[in-house]
């Protein structure tokens, strides 16, 4: 008997409106385990390199892992994997909430979708079966309304939805996928892939109990976590504030991206952070399946905007990208922008990054009001933020250009607009400053999906002022010493490589980074115990790290074959400009240091000078089938 999984994967062809079921062997699950590794396997198996993300030939894979659904904090996540409309390479994105666990309780390990429906459809999943239903009447609606209508049609309650809003339907290249209404598969444009396939939603109802080898051990590990998580400062902070205190903290330490990365401090940072929010707009704190951390923050208001509580999930990246990025410190405006992005299913980071880029172009004379529908697209102008989001979601006026993402928008604008871009592989930078956290300059560049702040452990975790406990808890990765934030030497490159493997492991197992060592309450040894208890395997940290490395190399193979090689592992011009303000004034990323670090990373990873995985590395990772 298998434990932790059902050995059942649904393959949906939307062109023929047919469903088939695969029963992989146990070795398949131990090799790929789930999440982004399982998703990348099917992309590489079915999609030719260079395939357009909107082509019917693209596939999109929805996959939890072999431990998703166990009653343990941090195991509520699942992954979606496909070819990205932004980068043209493989992207996977994780989200928490309840949908991934519900899919496991419904008797499936993954859903692989190919083809393109002639008209909008949704998938109904229950008891190991997938049904395809017409969704023409749901097209254009927001996800909460879609869920209510599907439940009524199916005669069910308490189902879980994963779906797209008008942003995905209109093929906005950075459209995301909403999971449980306000949890987002944010990066890479996966919502637009669903839109291209005319797949409105996947609604799931689970009634089965997941087979677990040693349930008592899992419950013991969960009890231990609940007893100790408030004793870990990094974990307690998430419990108290989520990530909404971060704008103030980043500002104080001189690393809050402001006005399209032209500065690192924002005078109004406190106005969009935790204390102001709790005093004026916070309604409730929420969380994911089986997790006591409850790091999500939901807000509401009636003036000056009516903000729908159900569509708010306020966190740092959204506050920064729709706040300091664009120079807006008005919290109701920022929260309304977040609500709209969640309704329309737009990635808040790319929305903010693209609008900030447009503001830079406007202020430098590359755009005028003739180009922007009469809007004064200047930093700090809160009156244009909401109209711009509406235009982007509907692809109207200037929004049609911005809906392409900042890289493609720069090509359309011309006039040297490229120098105002802050992206890698077409994916806008998240709100963490590489000129301060130097490892991120390298991590953003070499990460397969483009700039991703959740792909590596950030420099402060082993910095000069890091807690001693952090060093003790990261030691199982072979990292034993503190390193300065502001350097990118050999030891820092090693730190990036090892922790990128660890974070890739988390993405395969769909474990939330917000519960994991070194800064959170679950140790690596406990994760190994957890995998063993759920599956019955005699797992090891070595094995789990290797599956993380396997994911990175599969994604890299697809990308390089699609022309996304070392020439795309780049550093934006703005990162080479000294910071003009804050405690780290004068910091910049030296291009020679960056290039040397990138080459050393390739060597550590077993890649050639073009960033192509060597044949021996693929064979070592049981990926010999990718050697050509």
- Least Cα distance to 34 among 627, 598, 548, 526 occurs for 548
Q: Which residues contact 451 (CB under 8 A, 6 or more apart)?
A: 423, 424, 425, 427, 428, 429, 430, 444
Q: What is the pLDDT of residues 517-557, one digit of tens each?
A: 999 999 999 999 999 999 999 999 999 999 999 999 999 99
The overall pTM is greater than 0.95: yes
Of the candidates 254, 248, 91, which has an alpha carbon nearest to the alpha carbon of residue 174?
91
> Taking 90 as the threshold, does the pLDDT of residue 1 lie above it?
no
How large is the C-alpha radius of gyration of the chain?
Answer: 23
The model's pLDDT over 211-264, given as tens digits with 9 standing for 90+, comes to 999 999 999 999 999 999 999 999 999 999 999 999 999 999 999 999 999 999
Task: Spell out the CATH class of 439-626.
Answer: mainly alpha
**Which of residues 182 and 606 earns the better pLDDT score?**
606
pLDDT value at position 254?
97
Query: Which SS3 state, helix, strand or coil, does residue 296 take?
Result: strand
Give CA–CA dist 590/576, Å, rounded: 6
Domain spanning 9-205: CATH 3.30.390.30: no
405 CA to centre of own chain: 16
The confidence band for 628, taking pLDDT boundaries of 50, 70 and 90, is: confident
Q: How far is it, in rounded angstroms, from Cα 173 to Cα 19?
A: 28
**Percentages (nearest 5) of helix, strand, coil residues in the chain:** 45, 15, 45
Structure tokens at 19: 């469903």
Least confident of 7-16, 226-235, 362-371, 542-551: 226-235
Q: Is the pLDDT of residue 381 over 90?
A: yes
What is the CB-side half-sphere exposure of residue 207 using CA atoms within 13 A? 7
Cβ atoms 526, 541 nearer than 8 A: no
* pLDDT tens-digit series, residues 89-115: 999 999 999 999 999 999 999 999 999
Domain ranges of the chain: 9-205, 241-420, 439-626
Confidence of residue 27 (pLDDT cuts 50, 70, 90): very high
Q: What is the pLDDT of residues 130-164, one digit of tens each?
A: 999 999 999 999 999 999 999 999 999 999 999 99
- Looking at residue 307, the DSSP 8-state letter turns out to be B
Q: What fold, for 241-420? A: 1.10.569
Check: CB of residue 566 under 8 Å from CB of residue 611: yes
What is the average pLDDT value for the chain, to the nearest integer?
A: 97
Long-range Cβ contacts of 373-382 (<8 Å, 24+ apart): 373/397, 373/398, 379/259, 379/260, 379/326, 379/327, 380/326, 380/327, 380/328, 381/328, 382/328, 382/330, 382/333
């Amino acid at each position: 008997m298998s434990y932790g999984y059902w050995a059942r994967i649904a393959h949906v062809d939307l062109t023929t409106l047919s469903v088939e079921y695969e029963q992989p062997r146990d070795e398949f699950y131990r090799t790929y385990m789930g999440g982004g590794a399982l998703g990348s396997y099917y992309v590489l198996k079915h999609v030719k390199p260079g395939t357009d993300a909107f082509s019917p030939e693209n596939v999109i894979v929805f996959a939890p892992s072999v431990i998703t659904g166990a009653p343990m904090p941090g195991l509520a996540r699942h992954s979606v994997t496909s070819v990205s409309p932004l980068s043209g390479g493989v992207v996977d994105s994780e989200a928490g909430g309840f949908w991934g666990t519900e899919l496991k309780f419904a008797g499936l390990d993954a859903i692989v979708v190919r083809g393109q429906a002639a008209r909008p459809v949704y998938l109904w999943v229950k008891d190991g079966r997938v049904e395809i239903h017409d969704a023409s009447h749901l097209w254009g609606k927001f996800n909460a309304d879609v869920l209510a209508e599907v439940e009524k049609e199916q005669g069910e309650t308490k189902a879980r939805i994963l779906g797209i809003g008008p942003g995905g339907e209109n093929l906005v290249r950075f459209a995301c996928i909403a999971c449980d209404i306000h949890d987002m598969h944010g990066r890479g444009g996966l919502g637009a892939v669903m839109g291209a396939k005319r797949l409105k939603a996947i609604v799931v109802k689970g009634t089965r109990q997941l087979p677990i080898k040693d349930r008592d051990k899992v419950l013991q590990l969960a009890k231990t976590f609940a007893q100790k998580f408030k004793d870990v400062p990094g974990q307690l902070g998430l419990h108290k504030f989520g990530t909404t205190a971060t704008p103030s903290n980043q500002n104080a330490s001189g690393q809050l991206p402001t006005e399209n990365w032209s500065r690192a401090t924002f005078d109004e940072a406190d106005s969009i952070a935790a204390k102001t929010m709790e005093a004026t707009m916070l309604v409730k704190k929420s969380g994911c399946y089986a997790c006591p951390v409850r790091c999500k923050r939901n807000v509401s208001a009636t003036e000056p905007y009516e903000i729908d509580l159900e569509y708010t999930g306020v966190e740092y990246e959204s506050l920064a990208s729709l706040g300091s990025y664009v120079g807006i410190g008005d919290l109701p405006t920022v929260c309304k922008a977040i609500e709209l992005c969640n309704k329309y299913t737009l990635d808040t980071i790319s929305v903010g990054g693209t609008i900030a880029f447009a503001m830079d172009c406007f202020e430098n004379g590359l755009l005028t009001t003739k180009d922007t529908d009469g809007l004064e697209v200047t930093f700090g102008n809160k009156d244009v933020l909401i109209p711009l989001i509406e235009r982007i979601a509907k692809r109207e006026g200037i929004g049609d250009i911005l809906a392409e993402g900042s890289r493609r928008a720069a090509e359309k604008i011309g006039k040297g607009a490229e120098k105002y871009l802050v992206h890698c592989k077409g994916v806008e930078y998240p709100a963490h400053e590489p000129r301060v956290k130097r490892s991120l300059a390298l991590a953003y560049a070499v990460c397969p999906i483009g700039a991703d702040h959740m792909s590596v452990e950030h420099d402060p975790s082993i910095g000069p002022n890091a807690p001693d406990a952090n060093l003790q808890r990261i030691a199982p990765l072979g990292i034993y010493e503190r390193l300065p934030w502001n350097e990118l030497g050999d030891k820092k490159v090693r730190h990036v490589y090892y922790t990128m493997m660890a974070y890739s492991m988390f993405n395969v197992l769909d474990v939330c980074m917000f519960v994991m060592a070194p800064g959170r309450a679950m140790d690596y040894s406990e994760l190994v115990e957890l995998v063993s208890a759920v599956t019955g395997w005699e797992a090891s940290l070595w094995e789990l790290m290797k599956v993380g490395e396997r994911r990175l190399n599969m994604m890299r193979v697809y990308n390089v074959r699609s022309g996304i090689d070392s020439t795309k592992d780049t550093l934006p011009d703005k990162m080479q400009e000294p910071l003009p303000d804050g405690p780290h004034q004068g910091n910049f990323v030296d291009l020679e240091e960056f290039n040397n670090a990138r080459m050393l990373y390739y060597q550590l990873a077993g890649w050639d000078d073009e960033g192509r995985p060597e044949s021996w590395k693929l064979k070592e990772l049981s990926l010999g089938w990718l050697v050509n």
